[in-house]
Structure 1
Amino acid sequence: MSAKRSAEPSPEAIARSDRQRLAAEEGARAMADAEKQAVDVRKNMARLRELREAKEAADATLQASSPAPVPAKGRKKLPR
């Protein structure tokens, strides 16, 4: 006796197919979320870099425009 395959898939096959489809959808969603997060991180890093460079330029300009500090005369210690 040979077993004949029916045209309809078994409930196990349907469940397996559904699990595979859901896993593929979840994977695609996770990859998209990870890529979006990476883009957001890169944008924030660029924004912070611009702020830091602007602050460094302002500090350099301020330091260049201010007179050099005059060293204070120190008091000599008297020998005991």
Structure 2
Amino acid sequence: MAKKPEELSAERLAKAQRQRLAAEAGAQAIAEVERDAIAVRKNMVRLRALREARDAEAAAQAGPAPSAPAARRTKRIKRIVR
């Protein structure tokens, strides 16, 4: 016959307590990781905005880009095939 809930042994109670504590610790760890991920994404957005502003300012100060000199063509040499 099955034991009644009141008749749980000390081992089963201890096991249930450990499982409950492990589940709580896991939930806290997951929440912490999610909070850290949100903080990292916020920081990335902030840094991207700063970088884009810096690049735009540098581009405005530099003015138009200097044109590169035309590439020189090398003279072709005919080779005699023997």
TM over 0.5: yes
2:23 maps to which residue?
27
Task: Choose from 23, 48, 56 the match for 1:60.
Answer: 56
Which amino acid in 1 is paired with 2:14?
A: D
* Same amino acid, percent of matched pairs: 17
TM-score, normalization by structure 1: 0.71
SS at match of 2:52: helix
* Structure 1 runs (4+) greater than 6 angstroms displaced: none
Which amino acid in 2 is paired with 1:49?
A: V
Which amino acid in 1 is paired with 2:48?
A: R
User: Residues 78, 40 of structure 1: CA spacing in aligned structure 2 closer, same or farther, 3 A cutoff?
Assistant: closer
Structure 2, gaps ≥5 residues long:
77-82
Aligned residues: 72
